[in-house]
Amino acid sequence: MSKVQFGISDVTVFERTENNLGADSSITYSNPMAVPGAVSISLDPQGDQNIFYADNIKYWVGNTNQGYEGDLEIAMLPDDFKKKYLGYVTAANGNLVETDIVGKSFGMVFKFKTDTEDRYAVLYNCTVARPTEEHNTVEESADPDTITLTITVAGESVAYIGSGDINATTVQAFKAEVRPSDSNYATVKTALALPTFDE
C-alpha cells in the first residue's frame, strides 16, 4: 500500500469534442499533445457545504461538488497549445498573436509518483484562462522563468449503473486515478476515454 505521493511529469492534453448525433450526443477526447516542463499543479475543490442545525446538533450536512480550480505551472507552453487552447493565431508574418478567440476545452493526464509505484491523474473537461507570465533579469545565475495557467475542471456527466447506497443514473466525473493494475494504464497517455460503470 502506498503511503505518500509526490512529483508531476508527462503532462498530456486531449482535445475535447462534443459530437451531436441527432437526438443523442457524446463526448470524445482525441489528438493527444504533450506539454513538457511541468513544475507543479495545485487544485482547489469547488463547491459548498450546507449545514442544517436541529436538536442542538448538526442535523443534516449537504455537500456540493463543483469540480476544481487551480494553477498549473509550466516551464514554457508549446506554440500548438497556445493556438488550440488559448486562442492564439498565426499572423501573415509568422507572429503568434493573442486574440479574443475562445480556446477549446480539453482533458488532461499527468503522472505522479507514490513510494511504491507511478500513477496517472486524469482531469475531465478542463479550460484554462490566459496565463500569468514572469520575465526577470539575468543575474549571477540564470533562473528560468515559468508560466502559470489557471485551470478549471468542470467534469463530464456519465451514465452510472451502480449498486449499494448510490441511487443515480448519471454522475459527474471530475478526476480519475489510474493505477498500474488498471486496464487502461498502458494507454492513458495516448487514448483518453470517459469512465464507464457496470456494477
> Within the chain, where are the H helices?
79-85
In a domain, 52, yes or no: no
- Cα→Cα distances 136→2, 96, 142, 144, Å: 40, 22, 9, 9
Phi, psi of 81 (to 5 degrees): -65, -45
Split into its structural domains, the chain has a count of 1
* 52 torsion bin: left (phi>0), alpha (psi -120 to 50), beta (else): beta
- The model's pTM is 0.87
The pLDDT score that the predictor gives to residue 183 is 94
* Residues of the chain predicted below pLDDT 70: 21-25, 162-168, 198-199
Dihedral Cα 129, 82, 105, 44, nearest 10 deg? -40
pLDDT at 16: 96
54 inside domain? no
pLDDT at 159: 84
| 154-158 CB contacts, 8 Å cutoff, 24+ apart | 154/67, 154/105, 154/124, 154/125, 154/126, 154/127, 155/67, 155/124, 155/125, 156/27, 156/124, 156/125, 156/194, 158/194, 158/195, 158/196, 158/197
pLDDT score of 24: 61
Residue 186 lies in a domain: no
Does 96 map to a domain? yes
The tens digit of pLDDT for each residue in 76-117 reads: 999 999 999 999 999 999 999 999 999 999 999 999 999 999
Within-domain flag for 138 = yes
| Within a domain: 53 | no
* Domain-embedded: residue 68: yes
Q: Where are the beta strands (DSSP E) in the chain?
A: 5-21, 24-34, 38-45, 49-54, 57-63, 68-74, 89-90, 96-97, 106-114, 118-128, 132-133, 147-153, 156-159, 170-173, 175-178
- Give me the domain span that covers residue 170: 5-47+59-178
Decide if 194 is inside a domain. Answer: no
The neighbour count for residue 26, using CB atoms within 10 Å, is 10
pLDDT of residue 192: 95
128 in Cβ contact with 85 (< 8 Å) = yes
Q: Encode pLDDT of 111-134 as tens digits.
A: 999 999 999 999 999 999 998 888
